[in-house]
Amino acid sequence: MLFLILVAAVPVSAAENETPLRISGQTNDSINAYNLGADLAAQGKIQEALAETEKALANEPNWSLALAQKAGLENALGKYQDALTSADAAIAAGTPDMTAAMAGAWANRADALVHLGRYQEAVDSANQALRIDPTIEGAKTTILVAKTMIENAGKSSPTPTRKAPVSLVPVLGALAVVACAAGYRKFRR
């Protein structure tokens, strides 16, 4: 769900003096590319946002905040296995003091897992995101969807004469896109 990438795009900034706080040595080019990616995502230009985020990662491949953003963008593009890989990389590269990056990475991981049909893992990842940041509504939604899918799997199975139930995950993702446009802050120069 795109909402989650914008939650993950909540970088640390020094708003008072407009000087960016550098975490593990990001260059101005990396920060600018990351910010442009976040702006493009907010405008719904997901493919362009992904390209900018990848530019940021070209200079700093272990930047957990950019990796978390990349995971959310890949989810939005339906590249769920790639999103899972990016989220796992963000989690591995992050540090506990990077709350936004870690919460966003876990939430984006949960999203990818729902789309991959790994519902219990999705619940576990979303719960981890909520332990880090209890305000991530997207993680709560992911838990609801995953638990519903788990319950539905136990109640019915498709037969040749009956269609499989329609997944609500893409619908919820589309609704999240509409709701997220103002949900992020970015690095400041």
**Quick one: pLDDT band at residue 154, thresholds 50, 70, 90?**
confident
Mean pLDDT of 119-134: 96
Which pLDDT value is given to residue 25?
A: 58
- Name the average pLDDT for the chain: 78
> How many Cα atoms occupy the beta-carbon half-sphere of 180 within 13 Å?
29
23 pLDDT higher than 60:
no
Which pLDDT value is given to residue 127?
A: 97
Which pLDDT value is given to residue 176?
A: 39
Mean pLDDT of 118-124: 97
pLDDT tens, residue by residue, 48-94 = 999 999 999 998 899 999 999 999 999 999 999 999 999 999 999 98
**Quick one: pLDDT band at residue 157, thresholds 50, 70, 90?**
low
pLDDT more than 70, % of the chain: 67
Instruction: Give all domains of the chain, ordered by start, each with its CATH number.
Output: 2-154+164-179 (1.25.40.10)
| Three-state helix/strand/coil letters over 76-140 | HCCCHHHHHHHHHHHHHHCCCCCHHHHHHHHHHHHHHHHHCCCHHHHHHHHHHHHHHCCCCHHHH
Query: In this predicted model, which residue has the larger pLDDT, 182 or 95?
Result: 95
